[in-house]
Amino acid sequence: MTTLSLANSGLTNVPPDVYGATDLVSLDLSGNSIANIGVGITALTASEVLDLSGNNLPTIPREIALMTNLTNLDISGNPITHLSADLRSILRTHINNPQIHITFPITVTDGPPGTTCSATAWQ
């Protein structure tokens, strides 16, 4: 199996079996109530598409940066209040990289006072 959609399934956690599906290229967990994806997600080393939109994630683990094949990450529609410095750095780099698409119309306020992150730039 290379594609798995668990969208709108009423999930509050990522099913543990998902972390063992290391051949997944596309994983859609959108539209659930997941509040923590855990670092186990990084076992999905073949993943190119990860849709986490519309959940209850307050943060994204910095280890997601280890998913080196990831070309499409959607974290929109989450109450994200914190991104690690490592992940902020990676997002800054990827915003201008046409090979990687990240969707995150969110406001993150954990940087220096007065800074926010938008879908296209760090201000």
Q: Is residue 84, in this structure, part of any structural domain at all?
A: yes
Q: Is residue 50, in this structure, part of any structural domain at all?
A: yes
Which CATH number do you get for residue 69?
3.80.10.10
Domain count, the chain: 1
| pTM metric for this prediction | 0.76
Parallel, antiparallel, or unpaired: how do β-strands 59-60 and 72-74 relate? unpaired
Q: Is residue 60, in this structure, part of any structural domain at all?
A: yes
Long-range own/partner contacts, residues 14-17 (CB < 8 A, 24 or more apart): 14/38, 14/40, 14/41, 16/40
Q: Which two tokens stand for residue 28?
A: 């859609």
Structural domain boundaries, residue 58: 3-103
Q: Is residue 117, in this structure, part of any structural domain at all?
A: no
**pLDDT digits (tens), the chain, 123 positions:** 799 999 999 999 999 999 999 999 999 999 999 999 988 988 998 998 999 999 999 888 877 878 878 888 888 888 877 776 766 666 665 555 545 555 554 444 445 444 444 444 433
Return the residue matching tokens 């119309």.
Answer: 105
